[in-house]
A and B are shown apart, each in its own frame.
Chain A
Amino acid sequence: MQVTVRIQRFNPETDTKPYYQEYTVDVEPTDRVLDALNAIKWYQDGTLTFRRSCAHGVCGSDAMRINGRNRLACKVLIKDLGSKITVEPLLGFRIIRDLVVDMEPFFAQYRTVMPYLINDEPPPVRERLQSPEERALYDDTTKCILCACCTAACPIFWTTEWLGPAAIVNAHRFLFDSRDRATEERLAILNQRFGVWRCRTIFNCTEACPRGIQVTNAIEQVKRRILFEQS
Chain B
Amino acid sequence: MYHRFDAIIVGAGGAGLMAAAQLAGQCNVAVISKLYPVRSHTGAAQGGIAAALGNTEEDHWIWHMFDTVKGGDYLVDQDAAEVLAREAIDAIIELEHNGFPFNRTPDGRIDQRRFGGHTRNFGEGPVRRSCYAADRTGHMILQTLYQTALKKQVTFFDEFMLLDLLIADDGVCTGVVALDIETGAFHVFHAKAVLLATGGFGRVYKVTSNALAATGDGVAIAFRRGIPLEDMEFYQFHPTGIYKMGILLSEACRGEGGILRNGLGERFMERYAPTLLDLAPRDMVSRAIYQEIRAGRGVDGKDYVWLDLTHLPAEVIETKLPDITDFVRTYLGLDPVKDLVPIQPTAHYAMGGIPTDVDGRVTLDDKNTPLPGLYAAGECACVSVHGANRLGTNSLVDLVVFGRRAGRHMLQFVRENDFHPLPKEPDYRARAEVAWLLENDGNERVATIRAELQEAMMTDAGVFRTGDGLKRLQHKLGELRTRYSQVRIDDKSRTFNMELVEALELGFLLDCAEAIAASALAREESRGAHYREDFPARDDANWLKHTLVTRTSGGLQLSYKPVVITRFEPKERVY
Contact = CB atoms under 8 A, between A and B. Distances in A.
A59 interface: yes
A59 B43 contact: yes
A188 interface: no
Contacts of A30: 331, 333
B139 A55 contact: no
Contact of B133 (A13, A75, A142, A174): A142
Contact of B139 (A53, A58, A132, A134): A58
Interface stretch (B96-104, B260-268, B422-430, B544-552): B96-104
Contact of B108 (A12, A107, A129): A129
A134 B105 CA distance: 12
Contacts of A13: 493-495
Contact of B491 (A47, A53, A59, A131): A47
A229 interface: no
A145 B98 CA distance: 18
B93 interface: yes
A41 interface: yes
Interface centre among B99, B107, B493, by most chain A C-beta atoms within 10 angstroms, is B99
Contacts of B256: none
Interface centre among B107, B140, B211, by most chain A C-beta atoms within 10 angstroms, is B211
Interface in B4-41: 35-36, 38-41
Contact of B41 (A12, A54, A107, A174): A54
Contacts of A212: 326
A115 B331 contact: no
A227 interface: no
Contact of A129 (B38, B109, B212): B109
B110 interface: yes
A54 B44 contact: yes
Interface stretch (A95-103, A152-160, A190-198): A95-103
A53 B43 CA distance: 11
Contacts of A84: none
Given A59-B43, A116-B151, A135 B104 contact: yes
Contacts of B182: 96
Interface stretch (A120-128, A201-209, A215-223): A120-128
A97 B496 contact: yes
Interface string B151-172: 1000000000000000000000
B315 interface: no
Interface in A132-152: 132, 134-135, 138-139, 142-143, 145-146
Contacts of A118: 151
Given A13-B493, A135-B101, A58 B43 contact: yes
A59 B44 contact: yes
Given A42-B445, A47-B491, A59-B35, A126 B43 contact: no
A124 to B, nearest CB: 9
Contact of A60 (B38, B96, B212, B446): B38
B323 interface: yes
A55 B211 contact: yes
Interface in A1-54: 11-14, 30, 32, 41-43, 45-47, 49-54
A47 B41 contact: no
A46 B212 contact: no
Contacts of B213: 53
B104 A131 contact: yes
A107 B12 CA distance: 16
B185 interface: no
Given A53-B39, A97-B495, A177-B99, A75 B136 contact: no
Interface in B106-136: 106-110, 133, 136
Nearest to A123: B97
A50 B327 CA distance: 23
Contact of A135 (B103, B148, B493, B499): B103
Interface residues of B, number: 58
Contact of B495 (A42, A54, A96): A96
Interface size class of A (residues with CB under 8 A): 35 or more
B99 A46 contact: no
A61 interface: yes
A117 B150 CA distance: 11
A57 B330 contact: yes
A67 interface: no
A115 B139 contact: no
Contacts of A14: 493
A123 B92 CA distance: 13
A150 B90 CA distance: 37
B150 A111 contact: yes
A103 B136 CA distance: 24
A127 B147 contact: no
A164 to B, nearest CB: 16
Nearest to B248: A56
A59 B110 contact: no
Given A57-B326, A131-B108, 10 more contacts: A58-B44, A59-B38, A127-B93, A127-B97, A128-B96, A131-B104, A132-B104, A145-B139, A146-B36, A212-B326
30 contacts: A11-B495, A13-B493, A13-B494, A14-B493, A42-B447, A43-B447, A46-B445, A47-B490, A52-B212, A53-B39, A53-B213, A54-B41, A54-B43, A54-B211, A55-B211, A57-B327, A59-B35, A59-B40, A61-B35, A75-B330, A96-B182, A96-B495, A114-B151, A116-B150, A123-B97, A127-B102, A129-B108, A135-B104, A142-B140, A146-B38
Interface of B: 35-36, 38-41, 43-44, 92-93, 96-99, 101-110, 133, 136, 139-140, 143, 147-148, 150-151, 182, 211-213, 245, 247, 323, 326-327, 330-331, 333, 445-447, 489-491, 493-499
Interface of A: 11-14, 30, 32, 41-43, 45-47, 49-61, 75, 77, 96-98, 100, 103, 107, 111, 114-118, 123, 125-132, 134-135, 138-139, 142-143, 145-146, 174, 177, 179-180, 212
